Amino acid sequence: MSESQNSSQTPSETLSSFSKVSFIDIGPEQAGQRLDNFLIKTLKGVPKSRIYRLLRKGEVRVNKGRVKADSRLKEGDIVRLPPIRVAERGAPAVVGRQLKHYIANNILFEDEGLFILNKPSGLAVHGGSGLSLGVIEALRAEYPQYRYLELVHRLDRDTSGCLILAKKRAVLLELQNSLRYNRIDKRYIALAKGRWPKGKNTINAPLLKNTVESGERVVRVDAAGKASVTHFKIKQQFAAATLLDIKLETGRTHQIRVHCQFAGQPIAGDSKYGDEHFNESLKEAGLKRLFLHAASLRFKHPLSGDWVEVEAPLPDDLSKVLKKL
| Whole-number Cα distances in Å, 300 to 66, 113, 165, 190, 309 | 40, 12, 15, 26, 9
H-assigned helices in 143-298: 169-180, 255-262, 276-283
Catalytic residue among 156, 158, 270, 275: 156
Provide the 10 A C-beta neighbour count for residue 241. Answer: 25
Cα 183 to chain centroid distance, Å, stands at 18
Of 290, 250, 299, the closest CA to residue 268 belongs to 290
Angle at 272 between CA 269 and CA 276, to 5 degrees: 55
3-state secondary structure labels for all residues of 23-71: EEECCCCCCCCEHHHHHHHHCCCCCHHHHHHHHHCCCCEECCEECCCCC
Please measure the distance between the N-terminal and C-terminal CA atoms of the chain and give it in whole angstroms: 73
Cα–Cα distances in Å, from 111 out to 147, 159, 162, 272?
A: 15, 24, 16, 37
156 given a catalytic annotation = yes
Using DSSP, state whether 105 is helix, strand or coil: helix
Active-site residue set: 156
